[in-house]
Structures are given as C-alpha cells and as structure tokens.
Structure 1
Amino acid sequence: MTRTLLPTGSSKLERALAESCQSGQELPILLAALWNADTCPAAVLPYLAWAFSVDLWDENWSEPVQREVIRQSFFVHQHKGTIGALKRIIEPLGYRLTITEWWEEKPIGPRGTFKLEVKTVGQGITEETQIELNYLINEAKPLSRHMIEMNISVEPSGLIYIGVAHYQGEAIHIYPKAVDQ
C-alpha cells in the first residue's frame, strides 16, 4: 500500500510534491506550539512577533523579553490609547513607568498633556533606547494627549554589606572566703 492518495497516472512533479508534503507532516514541532509565545522555538520568535503585529522588535533583546513583548501585544493593541497599554508596552523592557496627567498636577497643567517618569533598575539608557522609548510611547499613548516631559532616573542596585560587632564584658573577682576571728 502506498502512502499517497495520488492516482496511478500522476506526473513526476505531482509525486515529488506529494513526497515533500509528506515529509512536512512528520515535523517534530506542533503547529499549535508555533502560535504560543511560551512554546515557540526561539528562532521563530521574530515571525511570531510579526504575526502578532508587535509595534517594535529588537533582535538584541533577551529571549525572555522577546517572549513577554509578544505576550503583551494583544493587550496593547486592544487597549491602545490607555495608561495600561503604555505600562504594558514599556515594562517588559525592564523599566517602570509613572504617568502624571495634567489634572493630577499641582497647579493643574495644560489640558491634554502628561508627564512620564521612567525608572530603570541598575541599567542606564542609551540614545537608541531613548529613541525606542519615544517611539513606543507615541504608538501607545492616547492621540488626544501630548507628552510634555519625560524624566529618566536610574535606581542603582547592588549588595550592601553591613557588619556590626558588639562586645560586652564584666570583670568578676573571686576571693577566698573571709574567716571571722
């Protein structure tokens, strides 16, 4: 019995196509695994990001960051124009974001504006990263809002060794028992 459904009078091209398609059926990767950011092979992540319409992709990001950006893509597209989308698009890159809108300022700022504070932990920001951040923020911010200020602060992290020593002592003198005379 043959492994093809082709009729006996098939051309060489049809038989070659059937054979090559048969080898595709025996691939070790399940198709469902290719559409999941957690189970997708690392080599295919850029294509998955393209399929999920990730706004900005960088091959230099670490693999966990790439997977997290793909995971957050649906939420970001669903909520573009909200503060939640801004946070979800920036935080997978390892930054913390604080947003102050115009009505939260004292005194109240110009209408339709907001300020950002981007906090990094233990890493600085290069000029390319700042351009990347500006692009991502402009993609996810509400169209009716304008960013008037962006503060970038670095929170240093590291180990601090603290040592404490305590010494307490008491002098005790022992004498023989005094004899009463």
Structure 2
Amino acid sequence: MSDLLPPNSTELERHLAKARSKEIDLEKRLNILINIDSVPDQFLNFLAIQHSVDYWRDDWSPSLKRVVLKQSFNRHKIKGTPAAIKKSLEPFGYTPTLVEWWQTTPHGVPGTFYLELDLVGKELSEEVYKEVNRLVEENKPASRHLSNLQITSNPILTIRTAIVYQDAITVEILPRVT
C-alpha cells in the first residue's frame, strides 16, 4: 500500500488510510465526469444543465456540445453587453457591427441600438434570420432594445478557380410600432 503514513503509525491509522484510499479513487472517477474533454458523450446534456447553458440542442455533434460547454462560463460573464451579442454571432461566421443610440449623429432614441450584420458569403434564409434574432434577444442588455437590423449578404460565386463577389443585397428591418 502506498501511503504517507510514518513507519510508527498505529493499526487504526493504517485502517483509516486504507478506507480513505477508496474515497480518493471515487473522487478521481467523479472528476472524470466534471472534465468536459473526458466526460462520455451521454453525460454532456447533464453538464449543460450544471453549467447553465442558455441554448442547447440534443442533435448537435458531441464536439460542438463540448465547445458550447467550455464557453458557457465566459459567456455568462459578459452576458448583457454589446460584446456578448458580437460573440454570439461570430461562431456563425457573421461580421456584426453594433451601434448604440449615443454613438449616432444625431443621437437616437435612448436605450436603443442597431445592428449591422454582414453575412460574408453566407446565405440569408428565414432560419438564419430567426437565429440572429434569438441570439440578439438572449444576449442584449435587458434595458436595451433593437431599433434596426441591417443585414448585408454578399453572395460568393465560384467560376472555375476564381471567386467572384456579386453586388451586396442589404435588407433593413425596422421594428413594428405598437
């Protein structure tokens, strides 16, 4: 038995050390379930609950689930800031520009911001539009409201070995007045 007990330890101390060694082995096994890289795939959903992941889909690949789990702590640290909105859109390959009301000339309506989103060769579908709105709504400060969403799509055409950019298509969406 490998332990740190001195040679003059009592029998009781040796039995306690032996009993404690089983607990240490159990702790090592439980640490495997906490480490995101080593946890078996079937436990990733439970880790998502433990890490308070805001958005989770069971049909994601295990590698994507691990990335989302690793990023969850840092996302919670910046949630409710313009940086959170930008970070949430970047994994999709979009280039976001967020302009708050006080950064415009003349000043906009207090508590509002607008978002310019360049899709950089990605297609604009209804699903993409809904996903952008969901991400913005989840990550924006509660006291801020989206006043305008401008989406620019620059489709890329491949002609043999050359990449050609077509004219940009810009869609501007204004919120409904209620």
What's the TM-score once normalised by structure 2's chain length?
0.60
1:57 has 2:80 as partner:
no
- Residues 156 and 101 from structure 1, CA distance in 2 versus in 1: closer, same or farther, beyond 3 angstroms? same
* Unaligned segments of structure 2, at least 5 residues: 1-24, 163-178
Richer in helix (by share): 2
Larger radius of gyration: 1
Kindly indicate whether the alpha-carbon contact (under 8 Å) linking 2:97 and 2:116 is maintained by their aligned counterparts in 1. Answer: yes
Change (3 A) 1:40 1:87: farther
Deviation digits for residues 50-75 of structure 1, max 9, x if unmatched? Answer: 22111111234444433322222111
Identity of aligned residues (%): 41
RMSD: 3.0
Partner of 2:148: 149
Contact 2:112/2:147 (CA < 8 Å) preserved in 1?
yes
Which structure has the highest strand share of the two?
2
Contact 1:68 1:92 in 2 (8 A): no
For these two proteins, the number of residue pairs brought into alignment is: 137
Runs of 4+ residues over 6 Å off in structure 1: none
- Secondary structure of the equivalent of 2:137? helix
Q: Matches of 1:38 and 1:121 in 2, distance apart?
A: 32
1:130-155 alpha-carbon deviations (Å, 9 max, x no partner) = 33332222222111111011122334
Question: Following the alignment from structure 1 to structure 2, what is the Cα–Cα distance between the partners of residues 102 and 146?
Answer: 10
Task: Say if 2:123 and 2:155, in contact at 8 Å, map to a contact too.
Answer: no
Q: Please list the CA deviations of residues 92-116 of structure 1 after superposition, one character each: whole Å capped at 9, or x if unmatched.
A: 3443322111122233211111111
Report matched runs for 1:22-33 at 5 Å.
30-33=29-32
What amino acid is the match of 1:74?
F
